[in-house]
């Protein structure tokens, strides 16, 4: 049998760090990344035959579990028609209609191939529409790896200690103003000073790339207010939260309408898909209707559209999101009880189908400073112990956990039993 350690050694020969995305690397852990062979429902199975209850869900898309038979069936059925045509297809219109119906602030939408492409294109559009260069983002929010947004970012960049990447020209980064998340006063002050120069605010309405930090009441409202006052656009990066915290995304959950929305992950049903869309008058500035250029050879790929449409339609079953949130609540309460019993400083935070585990004595984590002040060693010990117990969490203290509808009560119980052992071991350590 080939082990993960052997495969990792082989991978490192020709792949930087042995991984195709840095956050997968288990950097700082005392073990190599686990190589997975297959996945089904809530489970991942590694190359050594071990099963894990998975809370990464391919970083979010697998909201009904892995290898969903309906999604796979639809893709299989579509396969023989061909992989890609580079022409318009009817299925792209079906997808656009579905997105606009589920997220009413989106009146027109353009499909792309990843969340990064979605945010990159949305920011360009905001700049083109307003004729302004400056953008506002929040410390620890991650919007993919496009230059303008890889400034004080979260996710893998933060995990690996480089929240602002070398390679982003200083002359470009200076147009990105970074503020503290959940700090409406800082936003108001910034706009008093430079509001008329700001093309857009881009925000994760739930910050899922520095663990899981929901917006405090009034924060998103302030963003909407200053954008309206100064003629800037409000962009919600709903790559993580879209179709997850509610069918209509975080904007439906919190009742705030952005001008533009970025989507990814669930919208592709596990295929590489992103999308950006919003108010018609803004989207009409996109080429070929308007001058802001954006393109993609494989955008709207028919197989990817098939997977995404099938998954999105499954999420429309009444009660789907309530049941998902209920599972998250059961998990978070169970973890809290067990951590408290073991005397471990830990809290959880959650929003719909996503959650975060913070090793901290604070009662809440609202921003980058508080997230990075949490106990990283405790997280690493917990992560490693949970892996031994057959539970796969994100190998980073700065990533949200994702629940799926395939997680049964016994999977959550297995997780809680594992956590109980992990907490006791941590207490003794």
Ligand X SMILES: N[C@H](C=O)CCC(=O)O
Per annotation, catalytic residue among 265, 366, 392, 411: 265
Asked if 153 is part of the footprint of ligand X (rule: CB under 6 A), the reply reads: no
Upper half-sphere CA count for residue 39 (Cβ side, 13 Å): 23
272 vs 296, beta carbon nearer ligand X? 272
Q: How many residues bind ligand X (CB under 6 A)?
A: 9
Residues 99-128 within binding reach of ligand X (CB under 6 A) = none
Tokens of 364: 């809440």
> How many whole angstroms separate alpha carbon 407 and alpha carbon 403?
7
> How many whole angstroms separate alpha carbon 300 and alpha carbon 290?
20
Tell me if residue 225 is catalytic: no
Among 399, 402, 405, 414, binds ligand X (CB under 6 A): 399
Residues 200-219 within binding reach of ligand X (CB under 6 A) = 209
209 vs 232, beta carbon nearer ligand X? 209
259 vs 399, beta carbon nearer ligand X? 399
Do the beta carbons of residue 26 and residue 15 sit within 8 Å? no
- Starting at the edge strand found earlier in the chain, the sheet holding 43-46 runs 36-40, 43-46, 51-54, 391-392
> How many whole angstroms separate alpha carbon 282 and alpha carbon 121?
12
Which residues are bridge partners to 120 per DSSP?
A: none
Q: How far is the CB of 156 from ligand X (least distance, A)?
A: 5
Residues 234-273 within binding reach of ligand X (CB under 6 A) = 240
Q: How far is the CB of 75 from ligand X (least distance, A)?
A: 22
Do the beta carbons of residue 394 and residue 401 sit within 8 Å? yes
Tokens of 297: 């050879």
Residues in the chain: 429
Tell me if residue 142 is catalytic: yes
Residues in contact with ligand X, shown as a per-residue x/- string from 9 to 38 under the rule CB under 6 A: ------------x-x---------------
Q: How far is the CB of 165 from ligand X (least distance, A)?
A: 13
Question: Among 269, 252, 203, 254, which residue's Cα sits nearest to residue 232?
Answer: 203
102 Cβ partners below 8 Å, 6+ apart? 243, 247, 248, 312, 316
Q: How far is the CB of 57 from ligand X (least distance, A)?
A: 11
Do the beta carbons of residue 156 and residue 21 sit within 8 Å? yes
Q: How far is the CB of 215 from ligand X (least distance, A)?
A: 18
Residues in contact with ligand X, shown as a per-residue x/- string from 155 to 194 under the rule CB under 6 A: xx--------------------------------------
Q: How far is the CB of 260 from ligand X (least distance, A)?
A: 18
Per annotation, catalytic residue among 52, 142, 254, 392: 142
92 vs 117, beta carbon nearer ligand X? 117
The residue sitting closest to ligand X, measured at its beta carbon, is 21
43 vs 142, beta carbon nearer ligand X? 142
Tell me if residue 27 is catalytic: no
59 vs 219, beta carbon nearer ligand X? 59
How do beta strands 354-358 and 401-402 pair?
Answer: antiparallel
Q: How far is the CB of 81 from ligand X (least distance, A)?
A: 30
> How many whole angstroms separate alpha carbon 330 and alpha carbon 338?
12
Q: How far is the CB of 396 from ligand X (least distance, A)?
A: 8
Which residues are bridge partners to 392 per DSSP?
A: 54
Tokens of 155: 């996710």
Per annotation, catalytic residue among 237, 259, 366, 411: 237
Question: Exposed, middle or buried: residue 325 (CB in 10 Å: 0-12, 13-18, 19+)?
Answer: buried
Asked if 59 is part of the footprint of ligand X (rule: CB under 6 A), the reply reads: yes
> How many whole angstroms separate alpha carbon 279 and alpha carbon 105?
7
The answer for 141, left when phi > 0, alpha when psi is -120 to 50, beta otherwise, is beta
Helix (H/G/I), strand (E/B), else coil: 347: strand
What angle is formed at CA 285 by the lines to CA 168 and CA 173, rounded to 5 degrees? 15
> How many whole angstroms separate alpha carbon 147 and alpha carbon 168?
5
116 vs 130, beta carbon nearer ligand X? 116
155 vs 349, beta carbon nearer ligand X? 155
Asked if 148 is part of the footprint of ligand X (rule: CB under 6 A), the reply reads: no
Residue numbers at the binding site for ligand X (CB under 6 A): 21, 23, 59, 142, 155-156, 209, 240, 399
Active site residues: 142, 237, 265
């Amino acid at each position: 049998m080939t082990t993960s350690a052997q495969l990792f050694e082989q991978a490192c020969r020709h792949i930087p760090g042995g991984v195709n995305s840095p956050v997968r690397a288990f950097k700082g852990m005392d073990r190599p990344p686990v190589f997975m062979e297959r996945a089904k429902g809530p489970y991942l199975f590694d190359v050594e035959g071990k099963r894990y209850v998975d809370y990464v869900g391919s970083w979010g898309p697998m909201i009904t579990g892995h290898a969903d038979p309906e999604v796979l069936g639809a893709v299989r059925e579509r396969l023989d028609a061909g992989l890609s045509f580079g022409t318009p297809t009817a299925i792209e219109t079906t997808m656009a209609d579905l997105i606009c119906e589920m997220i009413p602030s989106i009146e027109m939408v353009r499909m792309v191939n990843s969340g990064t492409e979605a945010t990159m294109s949305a920011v360009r559009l905001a700049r083109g529409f307003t004729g302004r260069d400056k953008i506002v983002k929040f410390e620890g929010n991650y919007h993919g790896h496009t230059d303008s947004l890889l400034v004080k970012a979260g996710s893998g960049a933060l995990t690996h200690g480089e929240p602002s990447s070398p390679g982003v020209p200083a002359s470009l980064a200076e147009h990105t103003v970074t503020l503290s998340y959940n700090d409406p006063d800082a936003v108001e002050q910034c706009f008093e000073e430079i509001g008329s120069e700001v093309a857009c605010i881009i925000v994760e309405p739930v910050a899922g790339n520095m663990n899981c930090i929901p917006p405090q009441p009034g924060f998103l409202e302030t963003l909407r207010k200053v954008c309206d006052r100064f003629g800037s656009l409000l962009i919600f990066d709903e790559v993580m939260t879209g179709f997850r915290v509610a069918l209509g995304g975080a904007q439906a959950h919190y009742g705030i309408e952005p001008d533009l929305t970025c989507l990814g992950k669930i919208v592709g049903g596990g295929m590489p898909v992103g999308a950006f869309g919003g108010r018609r008058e803004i989207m009409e500035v996109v080429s070929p209707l308007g001058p802001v250029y954006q393109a993609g050879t494989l955008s709207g790929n028919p197989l990817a559209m098939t997977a995404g449409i099938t998954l999105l339609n499954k999420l429309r079953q009444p009660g789907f999101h309530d049941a998902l949130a209920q599972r998250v609540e059961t998990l978070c309460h169970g973890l809290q009880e067990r951590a408290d019993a073991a005397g471990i400083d830990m809290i959880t935070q959650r929003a719909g189908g996503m959650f975060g585990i913070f090793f901290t004595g604070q009662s809440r984590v609202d921003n980058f400073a508080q997230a990075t002040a949490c106990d990283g060693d405790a997280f690493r010990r917990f992560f490693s112990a949970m892996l031994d117990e057959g539970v796969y969490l994100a190998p980073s203290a700065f990533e949200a956990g994702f629940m799926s509808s395939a997680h049964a009560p016994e999977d959550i119980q297995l997780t809680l039993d594992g956590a109980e052992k992990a907490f006791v071991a941590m207490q003794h350590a």
